[in-house]
Structure 1
């Protein structure tokens, strides 16, 4: 998931420091739970998990140690999860990349569905379709489609990298509207936003936490929410579905364990993690980060993984996206 504000990262570090001060009786109740985040420190994924770290420790009755292992779109960190013993002492929090990677990478060191045990989907990060208002003076998605359609191949769209969820989300819009536009990949969200504001690129899909300050400043304009429902902080912004385009996409965060995790361990981890993420302090943190809590059962998480992996595979095939 895209990076978000520095103060949330600092908040996550504060939670980590608080965890170290937990009373001795908590650590005595069980061995530490290793939580792998296959993303960089300060990323949206990392900040979300660290916001819930202390609450998870309380709910599970054991220390929770968060370890960031970024690289290759989450593959490096997830590979460590896959190799871990299925004893309930190691889990990971993965994003959409987990089910996108099998479609965009020619070789995968593990099976994204068979080599893990789904525990829960925890939260969603809403995305919005944004334009540079000086380059594309559209007030909604219909106007944007008309402008692009009038000049095929004239406009371009940005993403945070080839094969990323923000790239595929924009490809969904282009495909659903039957448009022709050039893809310009960047190395991360920061550079993408800078060039969107500067007018080097025309439109793109971004997570609400990353783009909200620029929407308020008027340097970027949101023309549609891309999820199934409107964004709570942008209640007047209609979804692409409401504007006649069959696109539903957003970011999500899920807890997984290694393959072979016993049913009793899955239930114990699921119940503790969901209790933590629905606690008042984590609810508050998620609201501040503009993430939406949607805890699921392990069965619903497994179904989502399979459904999303098939959906992205088809989209990647149509868009011709491949990575080494």
Structure 2
């Protein structure tokens, strides 16, 4: 059972589809009016961390146009995505979505929008690694095999958190539990920030999260990393083996993120925004920040990004059915 985006595979895919050379920045029609960037995630999440690091460069790429980040978490990303879908297609409101955007149609019976047709996909920008973390004072296990043994020895004792029912972090946690042959209670949160806070506080014992969102907590010892969820180790966590290295080869998942706008965004605005995104993420300060966060950055063209969204939605539909994920 493959629940995964392989980091090597996605790197190759992105590289093959990336734009060649530096993009030319197109001046915004009204750079005095802020560009609204809606994030359907809470503060402190992986996407939030990425975009706040990239915002200064994006402002430069937009020739000084202000950029305002707006966090609108809830319902696995549906709350914020609804705002993006309903925004005027004038290039003044965009959003940054992740795997959840194409997972949601398979886990929610009713959706307020079509995840493909009600959006303009501007660029799949890159991917970020996930890691399974635990509260070190609540969970004595130091690695995946020890965690598996602990969960089997003490059923109904531990819980794992996610950023919401049916989210990619929910699926990633369920993926490990399935591979380990254990049944652990799932506790959904409205965003990564509250989830991480409660793992650190001991209200829940473990969860899967993007590496950029917990680098500080891992460094301070507030959280312990059990294993990297992809096939490749993370440079900033050299001593943390992958789940595959620890005997769980089917546990392989990473998070991608993409810039989108409302449907019917004019081609000129798509070109303008795509060029700004490519330019922003190619600036030295942003590249340095992304490297520190272990993110793989290779922006895809709008056309390739749309094809990627469609393929991912179909893939996750199969995975959700196989995992029997339901949203109450």
Q: TM-score, normalised by structure 2?
A: 0.76
- Whether contact under 8 Å (1:31, 1:89) holds in the other structure is no
Distance 1:200 1:85 in 2: 41
- Whether contact under 8 Å (1:177, 1:245) holds in the other structure is no
- Give the equivalent residue in structure 2 for 1:36: 37
| Structure 1 vs Structure 2 CA RMSD | 3.2
Tell me if 1:101 matches 2:104.
yes
- Whether contact under 8 Å (1:121, 1:295) holds in the other structure is yes
Structure 2 residue ranges without an equivalent (≥5): 1-26
- Give the equivalent residue in structure 2 for 1:293: 297
Decide whether aligned partners of structure 1 residues 135 and 65 sit closer, same or farther in structure 2, where only a CA change above 3 A counts.
closer
Distance apart, 1:129 and its partner CA: 0.8
- Give the equivalent residue in structure 1 for 2:164: 161
- Which of 309, 316, 321 aligns to 2:326? It is 321
Decide whether aligned partners of structure 1 residues 280 and 215 sit closer, same or farther in structure 2, where only a CA change above 3 A counts.
same
- Which of 111, 114, 121 aligns to 1:111? It is 114
Distance apart, 1:183 and its partner CA: 1.4
- Which of 39, 42, 53 aligns to 1:51? It is 53
Distance apart, 1:31 and its partner CA: 7.2
Distance 1:120 1:61 in 2: 20
Distance apart, 1:289 and its partner CA: 4.6
- Which of 264, 272, 296 aligns to 1:260? It is 264
| Equivalent residue runs for 1:172-187 within 5 Å | 172-187=175-190
Distance apart, 1:150 and its partner CA: 4.2
Distance apart, 1:64 and its partner CA: 4.3
- Whether contact under 8 Å (1:78, 1:92) holds in the other structure is yes
Decide whether aligned partners of structure 1 residues 310 and 149 sit closer, same or farther in structure 2, where only a CA change above 3 A counts.
farther
Distance 1:192 1:219 in 2: 14
- Measured against aligned partners, the alpha-carbon deviations of 1:253-306 in whole angstroms (never above 9, x if no partner) come to 211123334555434432321111110121233345554423223244223323
How many aligned residue pairs are there? 298
- Give the equivalent residue in structure 1 for 2:17: none
Decide whether aligned partners of structure 1 residues 193 and 82 sit closer, same or farther in structure 2, where only a CA change above 3 A counts.
closer
- Which of 213, 223, 235 aligns to 1:232? It is 235
Distance 1:136 1:29 in 2: 53
- Give the equivalent residue in structure 1 for 2:216: 213
Distance 2:86 2:198 in 1: 40
Distance 1:239 1:227 in 2: 6
Distance 2:28 2:263 in 1: 26
- Whether contact under 8 Å (2:94, 2:262) holds in the other structure is yes
Structure 1 residue ranges without an equivalent (≥5): 1-25
Decide whether aligned partners of structure 1 residues 92 and 245 sit closer, same or farther in structure 2, where only a CA change above 3 A counts.
same
Higher relative contact order (CA 8 A, sep 6+): 2
Q: TM-score, normalised by structure 1?
A: 0.76
- Which of 186, 196, 200 aligns to 2:199? It is 196
Distance 1:179 1:62 in 2: 52
Tell me if 1:306 matches 2:310.
yes
- Give the equivalent residue in structure 2 for 1:246: 250
- Give the equivalent residue in structure 1 for 2:279: 275
Decide whether aligned partners of structure 1 residues 213 and 104 sit closer, same or farther in structure 2, where only a CA change above 3 A counts.
same
- Whether contact under 8 Å (1:33, 1:89) holds in the other structure is yes
